[in-house]
Every structure is written in structure tokens, then in C-alpha cells.
Chain A
Amino acid sequence: MKSILKMQNVGYYYQTKNNRVDILQDVNFSFEPGKLYTIVGPSGSGKTTALTLLGGLEKPQHGEVLYKEKNLKEIGYDNYRNQKIGIVFQAYNLLNYLTPLQNVIAAMEITKNEILNKKERAEEFLEKIGIDKHMMNRNVSQLSGGEQQRVAIARAISTQAEILLADEPTGNLDSDTAKEIIGIFKMLAHQEQKCVIVVTHSEDFAKSSDIIIRLKDRKFIGED
């Protein structure tokens, strides 16, 4: 299957006072739709950095990230984030002055992807994810961690993005809830044919994925 996202000779470093610290060096990897990828590695190995580069939240210092063979710079980082990807953060990062329903609608209104009947679609996504009508209109701070993470996932998928990126989505959750979330990601990849890329330090999560990418010596090594 043709790749939807590609990293070509991607390199990233940050500069301290005295020296340069390389995080990623000459990373080459392709991602296909319909698959669940997990990026694993020890803390500080550059997993989140890789995800931010894939999500267009940061620009690589070397190489390029390609969406359908087009450089993100060419597409425009704002456009890319607006239409092509959905991101789930470890800390959920919901807008605390909006209800769960309003959070999802906000994402749908921001994206330029055409979405009709936004309110109904938002309710549908939330229900699918396990958030009932009663919880939809409460303040987000009144929801549990698992419920907030579900809302974050609903927000990420509501924009009809083809790519879903998640940074430690089960990091703050108990094991049962984590299993449910993993199940949702698998469903999104296999049934909705999205390209789902998850950064995690959980080996259980990694084992559930289609492809495990291990960060070693600042490079990606993929395992089926």
C-alpha cells in the first residue's frame, strides 16, 4: 500500500550552552493508512520529538517530512495540521472553558474539511467513543481522566483527518481504561483505515500494534 506519511533523512537536535544534542539523525520511515504504529523507546529518546515532527508542530532541521509525497513545507504547516491530522496529547489538552461537545465542535469548525451537521456528528463521535449525552454537556473538568482522553480522541477524529497521532494516550490512565483506549485506536486504524501513530512506553500497547518502531541510536527501527 502506498505510504501516506514519510520521513526522509529527518534530523533534529537542540543546542545547549556548550554543545549540540542530536535527538534524531537520518530517520527514514514510511507510514501507511489502515495500520496502527507504536513508537517506543526509553525516556528522552526522541519519541515525542518524532511525533511533533510528524504532526507539523515543529520543523526538522534536516531532511523532510512528506505527506503523500509532498513536503509539509509545501503544503503549509497550518494547512497540514488543519486538514490532515488529528492529535491526542498525553495531558488531553482539552479547552477547559468548553464542554466535551463544544470541544469536538470547535475542532470541526476549525478544520477546513467539509463537515455537515456538526453538532449531530460530534454527538455521534462522542457516543461511539463512550461518552453519553449526559456527560457531553458537563464541564470537562468534571470528567475522569479516561473520559477526558476519550473526548480528546473524539476531537481528533471528528475532523475527518486521515492521520491520527497520539502521544502517550494511556500514560495517565488505569490499565482497564488503557485497554479500552487501545481498542479504540485499533478500531480507527483497521475499520476507519486511518494511519494511527502512537508514542508509548507501554510494551502492552506496543504488542497490540501492527508495527512497533523502536528508537535506537537516534534512528527508527521497525518491527512487525
Chain B
Amino acid sequence: MSFVKRAFYSVIYHKGNNLLLFGIFTLILTLVLSSICVRDAAEKGINQIGKSVDISVLAIKHKDDMELDSFGLQMAHEMEKLPQVKMGSYLSDTIAVAKDFKSYFNKDLYTYTLEILPERYSKEWEDGSVNLVGITDTSNYWFFQENRNKLLEGRHLKKEDEGKSYAIISRVLAETNHLEVGDTITLQSFTMKNKVKEFKIVGIHSGAIGNTFPSYEADCNYIFTPVEFADYLGPGGIKKAEYTLNNAFKANNFIDAAQMIVEQGEDKGELTFETNNLMFLQASSAMKSSIYVANAILVSVIFMGGIVLCLMVLYSMLGRFFEVGVLLSLGERRKYIVLQMIIEVFLPLLPAIPISIISSNLIAGWLGEILLSNGPAMEKITVLVSIQSIFIVCVCGLVLAITACILPIKRIMKYQPKKLLQIME
């Protein structure tokens, strides 16, 4: 009778012990497989979040601790072309001169201030100056946040308006100059008088008169245009470039690539990049916790389960060493006795695998429902057993079974038959 047949007969005879072994294997493999499924699903979820939640990188150039300096718009556009970027938004501001309309000017405050601080006089303070803000999307600008100001007529400037000579002016300027949406205004550069540009009014905001000094700082003197025109009419350059990425995990790749573009430009090494991934972190925190929990379950189950299995197998084998002694005295080779023993440990493992696959599908689904339901609204994540995870579980079962046999095998290989027979006595 070959060792394989002996193994089968032995497993049937010691059914109580082997049922317990089967139960432990099933439990371990079910928990391992469920943890792997939940972890895989959570990782999928994080990837989904990474693609659906916006993460942005802000590029700025510091002049000093308080002020920002300008950098090239062309370079900023080059960075926008990088494959990681979904969209680029820019900001620039400058002082311009109202050419064919009147800006708001607080003459009394101007006269008073000039008397007090004549040494700080700047031509920009004079009548006709307006605050020109070049921007990609006016709706996200602080000026229109927290109910500070509203758009009263027309529409905000958007990304699609890049390059188009559109403008948003205040109601104060519109009423003062009898302007409305659709009319045009002309602005002149403050420093280069030959630079003049006509804009079509597409929106009117609620910016009010205020006792601000200089007058161009008053909300009513804010004029918004696409960023190219602030760059054109101003001293040149933009103050901020914000890049929305198409994948949260590509931030570092983008920054590396952007740095290379910067290195080749005039602003070599002087741009800093700040990642804003708060939304992503918040959205993915539940998933990350799930991964942590799943990994913790996985490691502890394998470790503790491994110990329990080893002890079980060792204990059952201790009672059978005399049998090993008998087999050795009959002339059986040690390697076949070892193989018989390994087969006896494997046989309960075999049915445990398909049963753990079925049960882990249920448990993983339930666990996934609990752990993954706190994420943001997104495509439903299905927690399912994959071929890869089944393979991992089979390998895990194999390793556990072999590890459980190591100590008994060591004894079998070490002792003479007489010693093994004496263990029984």
C-alpha cells in the first residue's frame, strides 16, 4: 500500500481531528480571502477617488515672505500641456488706465492722503486707475466668495474665454458710464501707453464704492478679463498658476516634469509647487482605514492561524510517532512517511479552499459594505473574489500546511525507530 493510500485511510480514520483541521483551514482561508478582497476593493476605490476628486498643484514665485512675484504665462501654458494636467487656471493683476470711461475716484480721500504722505505718492493713485485682474475663472476668485460680491448681470469668465477680450465690470462703473452687457470699454497699460485693448462687457458685478485708498482698490474699480490681457497690459507675467490634475496619484510626477520646464526657463529654480489634496485625503481616508483594517486582519489571521495549525498538527503527530516508528521498523523510507504526513495535512485543506471562496464572497461583501460605504458618492465598488486572490490563498494554505509539518518532520528525520517507538511507551 503506497503512502498515498495510507494517507487517505488515515485521514478517514482520524476524522474527528481532520474535521477540526478542515474547520481551522476554512476559517483562516475565509478571513484571509475576505481581507484580500476588501483591501483590493478599497484600493480600487482609492484609484477611483483619485480620478474623480480634484487635486490641484499651485505654482507660485515668492518675492519675499509677504509678496509674490510674477512668472511667465507662456511657461505656465507649457506646464498645462503636461499629460497629468486636466486644466490650468491663472491669475494676474495689475493697474490699468480707463481709456474711454471713468473709473471711480475718491478725490477728497486722495487730497487728504497726499497731504499726509506726499513722499509715498504714486501715479497709480490718480484718477482713471482701475484694478485689472486677469483670471481664468472668476467664480472661484475670493472677490466673489462668501457673499462679498455677486454677479448681477451676464456671466462669469470661464476657461473657454481664454484669449477672448471679454471683461466684467462693476455696476458702479456701468451706471456711471451708461454701460451694459454687450458694450465695449478700452483699457490702457499704465506703464506702456501704446498698449491699449478693447473689451466686450460680458458681466456686471456688485462691487461697491468704499473708503479705500488708493481708489483703484475699491471693489467697484475691479475689472476682470482673461489672464492674457493682464499679462499684456501689465508689466508681464502671472502671479499664480493652479493646475487641476486628472489623477491624484500623479502629483509628484507632474511636479517633477514641471520643474524640468521651469529649469529651462527664465524662472529657473524659483518656482515653488504646493499640492492641495485635502479633498482627496478626506475622501480616501475611509478607504485607507479599510486597507489598514484588512491588512491587520490578514497578518494577524495568518500569524495566529499558523500558530494554531502548527500546534494542532504537532499535537496530533506526537500521538502518532509510534506509528512512524512502526513504519520505519517495517522498512518504510522516511521521505515517504514525511510525504504521507504532508498529504494528511493537505487533504483537509483541499475542500477548505472552495468553501472559503464561497463564504468569503459573502463575508467580503458584508465587510465591504461596512468599511467602504463612508466614501464619497462614486461608482459602486463590488467586492468580489478574484483569480489572483484565490491563487494567493492557495499559496497561503500551502505554506501554512507545510509550516505546520516542519516540527514533526524534524523529529521524524532525527530519531531512530527505537526512540520513536519509546515515545509511545
Residues of A within 8 A of B (CB): 52, 55, 57-59, 78-83, 87, 89, 91, 93, 95-98, 102, 105-107, 109-112, 155, 159
CB within 8 Å of A: which of B330-362?
Answer: 330-334
Tell me how far the C-beta of A74 lies from the nearest C-beta in chain B, rounded to whole angstroms.
17
- Whether B322 pairs with A93 at a CB distance below 8 angstroms is yes
Whole-angstrom distance between the alpha carbons of A22 and B129 in the complex? 117
Contact with A along B394-425 (1 / 0, CB 8 A): 00000000000000000000001110010010
- Whether A57 pairs with B326 at a CB distance below 8 angstroms is no
Check if B213 is an interface residue, CB within 8 A of chain A.
Answer: no
- 23 A-B pairs with CB atoms under 8 Å apart are A55-B329, A59-B416, A78-B333, A78-B334, A81-B328, A81-B330, A82-B332, A82-B333, A83-B331, A87-B329, A87-B330, A89-B326, A91-B424, A93-B326, A93-B329, A95-B323, A96-B13, A97-B10, A97-B13, A110-B330, A111-B331, A155-B330, A159-B331
Chain A residues whose C-beta falls within 8 Å of the C-beta of B331 in the assembled complex: 78-83, 110-112, 159
Check if B6 is an interface residue, CB within 8 A of chain A.
Answer: yes
Whole-angstrom distance between the alpha carbons of A111 and B329 in the complex? 11
Which of B10, B14, B328, B330 gathers most chain A CB within 10 Å? B330
- Whether A105 pairs with B416 at a CB distance below 8 angstroms is no
Chain A residues whose C-beta falls within 8 Å of the C-beta of B421 in the assembled complex: 57, 89, 93
- Whether A57 pairs with B417 at a CB distance below 8 angstroms is yes
- Whether A97 pairs with B328 at a CB distance below 8 angstroms is no
Whole-angstrom distance between the alpha carbons of A78 and B330 in the complex? 9
- Whether B333 pairs with A57 at a CB distance below 8 angstroms is no
- Whether A106 pairs with B418 at a CB distance below 8 angstroms is no
- Whether A97 pairs with B12 at a CB distance below 8 angstroms is yes
A52-B418, A59-B416 known; A110-B9 Cβ under 8 A: no
Chain A residues whose C-beta falls within 8 Å of the C-beta of B327 in the assembled complex: 95, 110
B2, B326, B333, B334: the one contacting A95 at CB < 8 Å is B326
Chain B residue nearest in CB terms to A52:
B418
Chain B residue nearest in CB terms to A152:
B326
Chain B residues whose C-beta falls within 8 Å of the C-beta of A109 in the assembled complex: 1-2
B9, B323, B418: the one contacting A58 at CB < 8 Å is B418
- Whether A110 pairs with B332 at a CB distance below 8 angstroms is yes
Whole-angstrom distance between the alpha carbons of A107 and B9 in the complex? 15
Residues of B within 8 A of A (CB): 1-2, 6, 9-10, 12-14, 322-323, 325-334, 416-418, 421, 424
Whole-angstrom distance between the alpha carbons of A68 and B272 in the complex? 92
Tell me how far the C-beta of B258 lies from the nearest C-beta in chain A, rounded to whole angstroms.
72
Whole-angstrom distance between the alpha carbons of A58 and B329 in the complex? 10
B6, B329, B334: the one contacting A106 at CB < 8 Å is B6
Whole-angstrom distance between the alpha carbons of A110 and B325 in the complex? 14
Which of A59, A106, A111 gathers most chain B CB within 10 Å? A106
Chain A residues whose C-beta falls within 8 Å of the C-beta of B326 in the assembled complex: 89, 93, 95
Those 10 A-B pairs whose CB atoms lie nearest each other, nearest first: A82-B331, A97-B13, A81-B331, A106-B1, A57-B418, A58-B418, A57-B417, A93-B326, A97-B10, A109-B1
Chain A residue nearest in CB terms to B6:
A106
Whole-angstrom distance between the alpha carbons of A89 and B425 in the complex? 12
A58, A91, A106, A110: the one contacting B416 at CB < 8 Å is A58
- Whether A107 pairs with B6 at a CB distance below 8 angstroms is no
- Whether A102 pairs with B9 at a CB distance below 8 angstroms is yes
Whole-angstrom distance between the alpha carbons of A143 and B1 in the complex? 21
Which of B2, B326, B424 gathers most chain A CB within 10 Å? B326
Chain B residues whose C-beta falls within 8 Å of the C-beta of A95 in the assembled complex: 6, 323, 326-327
Chain B residues whose C-beta falls within 8 Å of the C-beta of A102 in the assembled complex: 1, 9
Chain B residue nearest in CB terms to A104:
B1
Whole-angstrom distance between the alpha carbons of A95 and B1 in the complex? 12
Chain A residue nearest in CB terms to B14:
A97
Chain B residue nearest in CB terms to A106:
B1
- Whether A57 pairs with B416 at a CB distance below 8 angstroms is yes
Whole-angstrom distance between the alpha carbons of A81 and B6 in the complex? 19
Whole-angstrom distance between the alpha carbons of A111 and B2 in the complex? 11
Chain B residues whose C-beta falls within 8 Å of the C-beta of A96 in the assembled complex: 13
Which of B326, B331, B421 gathers most chain A CB within 10 Å? B331
Tell me how far the C-beta of A105 lies from the nearest C-beta in chain B, rounded to whole angstroms.
5
Chain B residue nearest in CB terms to A94:
B326
Chain A residues whose C-beta falls within 8 Å of the C-beta of B334 in the assembled complex: 78
Whole-angstrom distance between the alpha carbons of A85 and B244 in the complex? 84
Tell me how far the C-beta of A199 lies from the nearest C-beta in chain B, rounded to whole angstroms.
13
| Sample of 9 further A-B pairs with CB below 8 A, known A57-B418, A110-B330 | A52-B418, A78-B328, A78-B331, A82-B333, A83-B331, A93-B329, A95-B323, A109-B1, A110-B332
Tell me how far the C-beta of B12 lies from the nearest C-beta in chain A, rounded to whole angstroms.
7
- Whether A107 pairs with B330 at a CB distance below 8 angstroms is yes
A98-B1, A98-B6, A109-B2 known; A57-B13 Cβ under 8 A: no
Whole-angstrom distance between the alpha carbons of A59 and B13 in the complex? 34
Chain A residues whose C-beta falls within 8 Å of the C-beta of B332 in the assembled complex: 82, 110
Chain A residues whose C-beta falls within 8 Å of the C-beta of B416 in the assembled complex: 57-59
A96-B13, A97-B14 known; A105-B1 Cβ under 8 A: yes
Chain A residues whose C-beta falls within 8 Å of the C-beta of B2 in the assembled complex: 109
Whole-angstrom distance between the alpha carbons of A15 and B331 in the complex? 28
Chain B residues whose C-beta falls within 8 Å of the C-beta of A58 in the assembled complex: 416-418
Whole-angstrom distance between the alpha carbons of A106 and B331 in the complex? 11
Chain B residues whose C-beta falls within 8 Å of the C-beta of A87 in the assembled complex: 329-330
- Whether A81 pairs with B9 at a CB distance below 8 angstroms is no
Whole-angstrom distance between the alpha carbons of A112 and B327 in the complex? 14
Chain B residue nearest in CB terms to A51:
B418
Tell me how far the C-beta of B420 lies from the nearest C-beta in chain A, rounded to whole angstroms.
9
- Whether A57 pairs with B329 at a CB distance below 8 angstroms is yes
Chain A residues whose C-beta falls within 8 Å of the C-beta of B6 in the assembled complex: 95, 97-98, 106
Tell me how far the C-beta of A165 lies from the nearest C-beta in chain B, rounded to whole angstroms.
9
Tell me how far the C-beta of B414 lies from the nearest C-beta in chain A, rounded to whole angstroms.
14
Chain A residues whose C-beta falls within 8 Å of the C-beta of B328 in the assembled complex: 57, 78, 81
